[in-house]
Amino acid sequence: MAILMQYSIVCQVPGAALYTMQAYNGVDLTQVLGITQANLPDGCYGWIQECGVCKVSGHTHSAYADFSPNAAKRQLGEELAKDLQERGAEVPSGAIGEPAHDRLERLSQLPPLLIEDGYYCGLIREARDVFVDGHFYACVAMCGISFERFQRDKAAPYGATRKHSMNQVRSMLQENSVVSPATLSLCKKMADLRNDYAHGHGLNPKEDALKSLAWMHSFIDKETNLMRDYVIVNGILSRKCGSL
């Protein structure tokens, strides 16, 4: 399991040869290539972890990172530049390698993640994966399932069990101020949309898959995004002033 220590969060050195690394500074995760060994000299790298669970230095909980959308954007840009150079002209839309290209396009639409780890992370990853594979109906269902798992995990310390309905679980979360009212509203909307698809009533799978993912990423920003309380300084995740 990777540990997020000095020079472990890295980005491409501007203007240098491909995969010439430097420690990343900032909060815009779209610039991150991934996580690599700690304490490497500038311009060097070993393995790069784009997706998976990591230990956070100085933090009691693990993190879950997914920087694969950044890699997809780079690959699309490299393929386009190469094709333009070879053709000497603009490339028609969709002309670069069909199924693989379509998957890269969908992956590039997703935001990178650096979030608190939990059982729901595997469900979030599956929801994103089925979208990338073009299974939009399944994506809506998986987004709904990931929301449910998160709510049940958060409500468990307050007595929630598998026997409780999701309405009862949300009541527990509200009564104990565990999550924000905006998050609870988002969870209810996701549950309603997920139920439509679970019962075969979904009418716009691609549009609703994108909507579900947007809701899920909004939920992540409000509740589990590590960048709410951290900033990356010289490749190290550091707590912001005033964060507990």
189 C-beta neighbours (distance < 10 Å), count: 14
- Please state the domain extents for the chain: 2-67+112-239
Per-residue confidence (pLDDT) for residue 94, from 0 to 100: 45
- CA 165 distance to own-chain centroid: 28
Strands 51-56 and 2-4: parallel
Distance of alpha carbon 167 from alpha carbon 176, whole angstroms = 14
Q: Would you say 213 and 110 are in contact if contact means Cβ atoms under 8 Å apart?
A: yes
pTM of the model: 0.83
In this structure, are residues 23 and 233 in contact, taking their beta carbons and an 8 Å threshold? no
Query: For residue 124, which of 205, 200, 51, 208 has the smallest C-alpha distance?
Result: 51
Can you list the residues of the chain whose pLDDT is less than 50? 91-96
Q: Long-range contacts for 177-181 (Cβ within 8 Å, ≥24 apart)?
A: 178/154, 179/151, 179/154, 179/222, 179/223, 180/222, 180/223
Question: DSSP label at 18?
Answer: T
CA atoms of 173 and 238, how far apart (whole Å): 29
What pLDDT does 239 receive? 77
Helix, strand, coil content of the chain in percent (nearest 5): 50, 15, 35
Tracing tokens 């909004």 back to the chain, one arrives at: 218
Write the class of the CATH domain 2-67+112-239: mainly alpha
Question: Which amino acid is residue 75, in one-letter code?
Answer: Q
Spatial separation of the C-alpha atoms in residues 94 and 76, rounded to whole Å: 11
CA distances to 11, 15, 34, 46, 61 from 42, rounded to whole Å, are 11, 14, 15, 12, 28
pLDDT of residue 98: 63
147 closest CA partner among 128, 126, 163, 123: 123
- The answer to whether residues 4 and 52 touch, using CB atoms and an 8 Å cutoff, is no
Specify whether the CB–CB gap between 50 and 37 falls below 8 A: no
According to the model, what pLDDT value does residue 159 have? 94
